[in-house]
Amino acid sequence: MTLLLVVTAVPAEADAVRAGLPDGAATVVPVGVGPAVAGAATARLLALAEAGGRPYAGVVSAGVAGGFTDHVAVTGTVLGSSAIAADLGAESPDGFIPVDRLGMPAELLGAGTTLTADRDLLAALRAGLPDATVGPILTVSTVTGTTAGTAELRRRHPDAVAEAMEGYGVAVAAAQATVPFVELRTISNPIGPRDRAAWRLHEALQALTVASAALPAVTTAGN
């Protein structure tokens, strides 16, 4: 019985993950781009598995990401210690206010803006990927493409190692289903002004295949 669910944004990422896994080691599904569709699709997959009597023991959000290059090099691997909804909140004259600091009643905040990765799943990946960089991974609905935007993210999240578009949505779905969650990414480009010549998408997908070889240990940790 497959106990691990790995979700990616696009089929190319799913293919890269599958290429690094033994047959039957995990269910790998491309669920779409962005936190809303990724969260909704992951929630459906988890609910169907539970209803069928075959619940997943862990969920991994996997794929490529933009990296803060003072923390990780392009083509490097990152493991998310937490998933942060970096643009969920409100603008103000004094700067961005995260949704969990807007004074709303706690019952309206849901998961808040930060969800911590499962300790055991993260430890299993760290053991299998000792050279990976570990830190918060930001989830954004709009990819950062300016120097000013990059500087603002660095100011608000100085420990963040990468940004992607699905991790927080997947983490919310996992939390709602009480299923452990962790995020695995490889870096295809620096965060900042969009310079496609600096992207290394092919190499990042190859790195994702290599990193995915550590995922069977996550299945063991989830038991």
What pLDDT score was predicted for residue 142? 85
For residue 44, how many other CB atoms are within 10 A of its CB? 12
Decide if 134 contacts 126 (C-beta within 8 A): yes
Return d(Cα 103, Cα 96) in angstroms, integer: 14
What pLDDT score was predicted for residue 40? 96
Q: What is the pLDDT along the chain (223 residues), one digit of tens a residue?
A: 458 999 999 999 999 999 999 888 899 999 999 999 999 999 999 999 999 999 999 999 999 999 998 999 999 999 999 999 988 767 777 777 776 776 665 545 566 788 999 999 999 999 999 999 999 999 998 888 888 888 888 988 999 999 999 999 999 999 999 999 999 999 999 998 877 777 899 999 999 999 999 998 776 665 5
The CATH class given to the 4-221 domain equals alpha beta
CA 99 to chain centre: 20
What pLDDT score was predicted for residue 110? 60
Return d(Cα 38, Cα 216) in angstroms, integer: 22
What pLDDT score was predicted for residue 106? 52
What pLDDT score was predicted for residue 103? 64
pTM of the model: 0.91
The domain locations on the chain are 4-221
